[in-house]
Structure 1
C-alpha cells in the first residue's frame, strides 16, 4: 500500500518507521503547513514528495492517509480525506464530539472507505494477554489507570509560549492528549459506563493540565489519573475478587503481572514485543482494508464513538470547550 502523511511530529516519524519495518506500506508524500518542515521531513524519511497543498497531496494515487496534525484539526482533515476517497488512519483523538463522529461515519459509508483511530496500546500482544487474563481476576471491584507524564512543552507554556497541546484552539489538555488512552482501554475492557465525572486542574488559559476521571460501572468504579504537568511512577491496576492485574503503564505495556488472592502468589504475564508498537495497529488497519472487514471496522468505530461521547461529556461538565463547540 502507498500512504501519505499529514503532520510532521515525532509520532508521524514513528509511524513511518513502523511502516518501513513491517514493509506493509510505502511512504509517498508528506504535508505540512510549513514548506521547510515538509521538505526537511520528507528528506529525512524518504518521502517522494513534500507539499503545503493538501489538495495536491490528496490528488496523488495513494491508498490511505495518516493524520497526526494537532488534535483540533483531525476532524476537518479526516472529512477532506474521505471526500477524496482515501482510507484514513487518524491519531487519537479522532474527533472531539459524538456529532463529529456521526458525520465521519456517514461520509465514510457513503464514500466506501475505512476510518481508523490510532490506539496503539489496544493492539499490542501484551494488551491481548491482559484481555485474556481479565476473567482470572474474578468479579471486578475497582480499577485505577494512570497516564501521568510531564510534557516537554509544559516548560514552554510556563515561559509564555503557546504550544498546541496547551491551547483550546488546538484541543489540547490532559484529557484529550493523554486521558483518552486509559479511557479507551476502560471502554474496550468493560464497555460503556453508566456515568463519567471529571475533576480537572485548570491552567490559567482554561486548559486542563491534569485531571481525575471517574467512570461508574455496575459494581465497580474506574479511576483515571491523567496529567501533562507532573510525572507519575506508580503502576495501573485492575482489582477483582479473586486477584489483581498490574500493568507498568497504559501505553505501552511492558510489564504485566497477576496476583492470585488465594495462593498469594504473583505471576509475570508479559511477553517481549516490538519497541515500536505502532506496527501492530498498522497491521490491523491494513488487514481490515485488504479483507474489507466491515465487522472490525464497525466495532472499532463504535469504540471511538464512546470515547468521543464520554470525553465530550466530561469536558462539558467542567466548561472545557473548544472552538466550534
Structure 2
C-alpha cells in the first residue's frame, strides 16, 4: 500500500475528537469519512475535520472502496458486532477500548480478522506510548518484583445525572459499560502486559442501581468504582479504579532492588526510580531520592497507537509482531475483567450469548 491509509470513524464522542486531533500527526494516515445513525450528524461531526464521505448505513461504509480502515468508537456493546461486519467486507479496524464486551467476543473479532487477512487492533493508548516502553525496559533494574499498584479514578460529570435518575450509556450494562470497562481497563491492560494473566483474581466493587431497569433484571447493577487484587504466586498486583472520585496517587512497580513510580495511568508520565538502600529503621523516602527517567511523549499521544496500527496495516514486521502480542493482552485483560464483573455482580447481554 503506497498511498495513505484512509480512515473513517464510527462515533462522535470526545475520544473520537481526540483521535481526529492526533491523526494529522501520522504521516501515513488520513481522514475521509464519518458514520452516524443520522447522516446529518455524521456530516456535522466529520466535515470540520476534513471528511468528505458521510454514512448512515454500516453496510455502505463497509463496502466503500474509498475507505481502508475504520476507527470504531461507538458504545462498547456495538464494538464487536460493528467490527465483525467491517472485517467481513475487508476493512481493517482500530477498535476503542474495551475492544469487546467480553473475552469470547474479542476472540471472535481476532479470529475473523485473521481469516479475512485484515488487521484488528484495540486502541488502548497507554500501551503504545514511549513511557510504557520505558516502564518495560526498567523492570529489569528493579530486581524480583513483589508488588505493583496501578490506579486511575476520576469524577465524571455524568455521576450527578446518574444520581438524578437519568439512564446513561456509560452506566448501562446493556451498553457493556461501567467504570471497569471505561476506566479500570487502563489499569488491567498494563498489568497483564507486564506480568501476564494472573493465577487468581479478587474483586470488590462500588455499585449502583441502573435507572429504569425492571426489577429482577440481570442488568440492574452497574459499577462505579472497584478494587482488584491479581495474584501471581510470587507477586501481587493491586488495581484501583473508578468514576466517582479523583485518585491523586501514583502507580508503581516495587521490586527487591528498586521501585518504579509514574503518574497518569491512562498515559504514563513523570517516571522515576527509587533505588533501595538499607539505612536501618527509615520509614520515609524523600522526593530527592527518586531518580527521574526522561521520556518524551507526544502532546497528542493517540498518534502512537495510530502509527502502530498503520504500520501493521502496511505489513511492517515489527508492527505486526507488536499487534500480535497485544492481541494476547486484550484477550487476557478481558478474561480478568469478565471475572471481576462476575464477582461484583455486573452482567452484560453479551455474556448470555457467550455462554450459549
Length-normalised TM-score, structure 2 = 0.88
Does structure 1 conserve the Cα–Cα contact (< 8 Å) formed by 2:42 and 2:56? yes
Q: Deviations over 1:130-177 (max 9, x none)?
A: 111111111111111111111122222122222211111111111111
Match of 1:267 in 2: 291
**Counterpart among 115, 119, 128 of residue 114 in structure 1:** 119
With structure 1 as the length reference, what TM-score do the two structures score? 0.96
Deviating more after overlay: 64-73 vs 291-300: 291-300
Of 41, 57, 64 in structure 1, the residue corresponding to residue 61 of structure 2 is 57
Which residue of the other structure, out of 177, 180, 183, is the alignment partner of 2:182? 177
Deviations along 1:243-293, whole A, 9 cap, x unmatched?
111111212112110001128732110323211111111111111121254
Q: Give the stretch that moved more between structures: 174-183 or 22-31.
A: 22-31
CA distance in 1, matches of 2:226, 2:124: 20
Q: Could you tell me which of 10, 34, 55 is aligned with 2:14?
A: 10
How many residues of Structure 1 are paired with residues of Structure 2 in the alignment? 325
Q: Cα gap change, 1:39/1:80 in structure 2, threshold over 3 Å: closer, same or farther?
A: same
Matches within 5 A, 1:200-279: 200-205=205-210, 206-262=221-277, 265-279=289-303
2:266 partner SS: coil
Q: Distance in 2 between matches of 1:54 and 1:93?
A: 20
* In structure 1, C-alpha distance between the alignment counterparts of 2:266 and 2:294, rounded to whole Å: 13
1:102 maps onto 2:131 in alignment = no
Question: Which of 314, 322, 325 in structure 1 is aligned with 2:340?
Answer: 314
Partners of 1:324 and 1:86 in 2: CA distance: 23
- Shift in alpha-carbon separation, 1:228–1:301, aligned structure 2, 3 A: same
Equivalent in the alignment of 2:312: 288
Select 1:163's aligned residue among 155, 168, 174: 168
2:217: which partner in 1?
A: none
**Residue of structure 1 in register with 2:325 after alignment:** 299
The residue number in structure 1 matching 2:34 is 30
Contact 1:168 1:321 in 2 (8 A): yes
| Contact 2:77 2:350 (C-alpha < 8 Å) held by counterparts | no
Write the distance in 2 (CA, Å) between the matches of 1:126 and 1:300: 16
Larger radius of gyration: 2
Correspondence for 2:94 among 75, 89, 93 = 89
Structure 1, 125-134 or 256-265: larger mean CA deviation = 256-265
Shift in alpha-carbon separation, 1:300–1:36, aligned structure 2, 3 A? same
Displacement, 1:101? 2.2
Asked whether the 8 Å contact 2:197–2:333 carries over to 1, the reply is no
In structure 1, distance between residues paired with 2:323 and 2:266: 22
Residues 60-115 of structure 1, C-alpha deviations (whole Å, 9 max, x = no match):
12111100001111010111111111111000111122221222122112111111
Contact residue 252 and residue 262 of structure 2 kept, 8 A = yes
Q: Which residue of 2 aligns with 1:21?
A: 25
- Whether the aligned pair in 2 keeps the contact of 1:195 and 1:217 (CA below 8 Å) is yes
CA distance in 1, matches of 2:316, 2:142: 36
Q: Is the 8 A contact 1:126 1:270 kept in 2?
A: no
Aligned partners of 2:151 and 2:187 also within 8 Å: yes
Residue in 2 that maps onto 1:140? 145
Cross-structure match for 1:150: 155
Match status 1:79 vs 2:84? yes
For 1:107 and 1:41, the matched residues in 2 are separated by: 30
Contact in 2 for aligned 1:71/1:93 (Cα 8 Å): yes
